[in-house]
Structure 1
Amino acid sequence: MPPFPSKLTYAAAIIVALASAMPASSESAQPNTVAVNKDSGADDAKSSERQIRVERRTPAYWRVTFDNPPFNIFGPETIPQLEAVITAIENDPLLKVVVFDSAVPDFFLTHYNFIPPLSDSTGLRAGPTGLHPLPDMLVRLSRSHVVSICLIRGRATGVGSELALASDMRFASREKAVLSQWEVGAALVPGGGPMARLPRLMGRGRALEILLGADGIDGELAERYGYVNRALPDDQLDSFVQALAMRITKFDGKAIAETKRLVDQASLPHDAEIAAGWDAFIASVQRPEAQSRIQQLMTLGLQTKDDVERRLNWYTETLRAP
């Protein structure tokens, strides 16, 4: 594993890596595909390293698949790829439903990548909402005319949980899904909006249990708490989500969009709430307590050892105070 850069603090890495995303190209994608990472400023080698695949199953129904083995970690190279996908979703008038899933066994989408150098992120610009790239993309996904569904098999940790919360619906494997906002365990404040979204889904007490307990929540408990719509037996999950997505695509697009818009008005947090959480995150990553804990986790094997990624919530309990 490349050592965590001694001259690049965790705070600086995250602040710059999540500084604003460059707008995606407006070029049309080829049939049955959606171009990602267009005009991202990455070199040719990095441009070929696709972490997100988009399949147009029908004009009205897309699958967006995270494919960054071994752990589906979200990093600065993922930001322009996801931004391009979100922009394509917003701009396609025929699209009605998008399903997010994973090609990596046991990992839906996990935390931010703490290793890349500063230069990988310095060219990114502000998103259309004025928020930093990650909350910007999540806010835009929530408010899109398109119905977004997360099919969660494996761990949805940090960014993965925040993407699920920003989506319209979440369906989880009863046996294999684990959702987690682990950040407090590393002396961080979550930055992708879970403080604004979780209480609206499950109430204040349960939201605080998840955020402050910073533990993994299995599919069955996630369903009981309202973290996900339903937890289904793993062998039924794919067929259920496929059937629901196809059913929705049969209905009138304008009726879908208008109904979703009115539900959004009644249920989504204001941008100011998301911005406040982001500001708290930025403040937290600069604290020595957070930097010390991340360094300890990297030494233990964060991003390199399967056991650490699978049991990240347990490993945070072993960390020493600085």
Structure 2
Amino acid sequence: MNFATLAVHREGPVLFASITAQPMNLLGPELVRDLVSFISQAEADESVRVIVFQSADPDFFIAHVDVGRIKAYRDEAAKLTGEASIAVLFRYLSASRLISIAQVEGRVRGAGSEFVLACDMCFAAKETAIFAQMEPAFGVVPGGGGAQHLVRLMGRARALEVMLSADDYPAELAERYGWINRALPAEELDEFVRSIAHRISRFPSAGHVAIKHRVNSIALAPIEDFRRDSDLFGEGVREPAVQKRIQAAIKAGFQTRDAELDLSLLLGQLIDD
């Protein structure tokens, strides 16, 4: 498995994929293309049971989508699902026979948050992991399934707080809210994730499929709801008022590494004329 934005290594039935999409792991067409190919190849290999997503960048897991290339990354998603939608792509991962684990160190916002929500489990570093569902700062709904997951995980009030504030949430608070499985000390994270991944991989794959099917029938929203959110995001992001806020954010440093280290501050200072 050779990819431009993923470094993959294998430990028996477990695949580890480290995201390397410089300069700050934006979810653009190259990363989506590689995720599509990686998931496809892993599913085709029946000896693979668990996939673990990590980041080679200590500051960013997945920053968010590349707002300048929305059509391009949607077109890449369609190569797996037949639909130009990362919401449908992420839901595909949730429904896959593979057990997917996100190991988060650094920032994960917007579609990055939606990606880890689509994974079956998420474990994060207490000291460095930061989560945000910040699309409402621009006046649009999350387009990759964030609302579908967060309401089910947190309840109505906390999901509204998270999305309407568009703020950063440290790992320990994300754990308390139900956003992630556990927040662990960074020095323990690698070993914990490796241990649970291998433990799960030793159990029968038929059980993985049966359990995921039953859990998803209870907790995973119907695909039509993911499609609707994707459509609402696509329509909303084209609105002049939304584009104006995006351009104002870009002028202030949005999608540059230094500014996005404290994106919450940048977004909180945006004002409408």
Which residue of structure 2 aligns with residue 134 of structure 1? 86
TM-score (norm 1): 0.80
* CA 315–181 in structure 1, closer or farther in 2 if over 3 Å, else same: same
CA contact (8 A) 2:124 2:171 kept: yes
For 1:274 and 1:284, the matched residues in 2 are separated by 15
SS in 1 for 2:51: strand
Return the offset for 1:304. 2.4
Task: Kindly provide the amino acid, as one letter, of the partner of residue 32 in structure 2.
Answer: I
Please say if residues 27 and 64 of structure 2, whose CA atoms lie closer than 8 Å, have aligned partners that are also in contact. Answer: yes
Residues 117 and 187 of structure 1: is their aligned pair in 2 closer, same or farther, counting only changes over 3 Å?
closer
Deviations 1:299-322 (A, max 9, x none): 11222241x111112211211214
**Counterpart in the other structure of 1:189:** 141
2:261: which partner in 1? 310
8 A Cα contact 2:74 2:84, kept in partner: no
Q: Does 1:251 align with 2:203?
A: yes
Residue 232 of structure 1 corresponds to 184
> Partners in 2 of 1:158 and 1:191 — Cα distance?
9
The residue that corresponds to 1:90 in the other structure is 43
Count of matched residue pairs? 273
Tell me the amino acid that sits aligned with residue 67 of structure 1: T
Match of 2:165 among 192, 201, 213: 213
- What pairs up with 1:1-322 in 2 under 5 angstroms? 34-36=1-3, 50-58=4-12, 60-115=13-68, 124=76, 126-127=78-79, 129-306=81-258, 308-322=259-273
**After the TM superposition, which of the residue ranges 82-91 and 211-220 deviates more from structure 2?**
82-91
- Stretches of structure 1 that go unaligned for 5 or more consecutive residues are 1-33, 37-49
Is the partner of 2:78 in helix, strand or coil?
Answer: coil
My pick for the range that moved more, 86-95 or 138-147, is: 86-95
- Aligned-residue sequence identity (percent) comes to 37
Q: Report SS of the residue matched to 2:47.
A: coil
AA aligned opposite 1:66? I
Q: So what's the TM-score if we normalise by structure 2? A: 0.94
3-state DSSP of counterpart to 2:167: coil
RMSD (Å) for aligned C-alpha atoms? 1.9
Tell me, in whole angstroms, the C-alpha distance in 2 between the residues paired with 1:87 and 1:114.
25
Alignment-derived partner of residue 43 in structure 1: none
Equivalent-residue separation in structure 2 for 1:68 and 1:171 (angstroms): 21
Secondary structure in 2 matching 1:175:
coil
Shift of 1:170: 0.6
State the Cα distance separating 1:230 from its structure 2 match.
0.6
Maintained 8 Å contact 1:174/1:231: yes
- Kept in 1, the 8 Å contact 2:104–2:125? The answer is yes
**TM-aligned CA deviation for residue 123 of structure 1:** 6.6
The 3-state SS of whatever aligns with 1:55 is strand
